Amino acid sequence: MKILADAHIPYLQGVAEQFGEVTYLPGDHFTKEAVKDKDVLIVRTVTHFDEKILKDSAVKLICSATIGYDHIDTAYCDANGIAWRTAPGCNARSVEQYMVASLMRMAEKHNFELKDKTIGIVGAGNVGKEVARACKLLGMKILLNDPPRKEAESSDAFVDLTTIQQEADIITFHTPLTKTGKHATYHLADSYFFENLSKKPIIINSSRGAVVNNQALKQALKDAHVSGAIIDTWENEPNIDTALLEMVDIGTPHVAGYSADGKWNATAMSLRTINDYFKFNKDPLQLIPIQQPNDKVIDVSAYEAKDQLAHAILKTYDPYQDSHWLKERPDKFYYFRSHYPLRREYKAYIVVGFESEIASVAKKLGFNIEQNQQPKL
């Protein structure tokens, strides 16, 4: 078997070889000639896989180490016997970590308490559900919008988009990008959406760039229809709107889901897909361990109770650093993604010094808590 894999997918080199001959190339080097004689492609979102690149190739399976599939012409693949698979839910906890850290920074910058805010979550799939869980633990009021789920489940747990426009202090998008169908998400947040907001909310997009019309968001920021923005996914990546980048509170290079844990999950899911699809029956699969953080122990005992959780979370990940890098060098968008440093999720850390009530919330978020902690006197 011949496999072509994106060289920037971690935890892959040395274990993909258990299935056959593997060639590694940067994602933007996947050409028609490069894929022509390959049986399997292991990809990210850098290249669009359609007839132009796949026609007359030997490709039988495309494994995308991502949750989305808008970079794959699924209709062409389906019509031409090319199977395609993604890694749903692989980075849900990573995006949750990004979201919570960003919310902590926004609360600090704009001087508010998260427990006093209502967050509207548009898209309640694997990622949206994790974000909702975390925000509930932080004491926020949750509004969920997911028309396909509402129809499928006949549930009153969901509200319409108008309710979110009217009631949410923060609106975050976690939908796939779809351009057709009853519930298309392309430019879901457009000029009309922003002009009909009631509370000047903070806008967050870590789904797909074109879910939010970037020009409309830029105008909404100028007109003060929104009070701030956190943008991780952009239209026209990597050639993003630098004027919008300067206007947002936090602007990052599509890395919300880039924790080492999320990447490991995606790679493992891709390898399992190959194993299952071709019935290799390799058990156990060879998998590469995840690197541990340099400082596994976080001590929050020196902080007041109200600041302990924020300190622990920001110690695991601070979006300000990624935002600073991108704002300094927006031309290196692709480089930052391809050379992203180690980021571990909460489960990789042990926290000491929490007061008991805070420790309970931190443990539910996923932190390991030192035992026998007592509240301060």
Catalytic amino acids? 208, 237, 254
Q: Which two tokens stand for residue 186?
A: 């392309």
Question: Which residues share a beta bridge with 368?
Answer: 350
Axis crossing angle, helix 319-328 with helix 92-110, rounded to the nearest 10: 80
Rounded Cα gap, residues 36 and 55, in angstroms: 8
Burial class (CB in 10 A: 0-12, 13-18, 19+), 11: buried
Phi, then psi, of 31 in degrees rounded to 5:
-110, 170
Using DSSP's 3-state secondary structure scheme, residue 120 falls into: strand
Q: Are 53 and 35 in contact (CB under 8 A)?
A: yes
Tokens 């924790």 belong to residue: 259
Question: Strand order in 350-352's β-sheet?
Answer: 297-299, 350-352, 368-369
Cα R_g (the chain), whole angstroms: 21
Question: How many residues comprise the chain?
Answer: 377
Rounded Cα gap, residues 18 and 12, in angstroms: 11
Phi-psi region of 122 (alpha: psi -120 to 50; beta: other; left: phi over 0): beta
Rounded Cα gap, residues 242 and 298, in angstroms: 36
Question: Which residues share a beta bridge with 96?
Answer: none
Nearest by Cα to 328 from 239, 208, 249, 242: 242
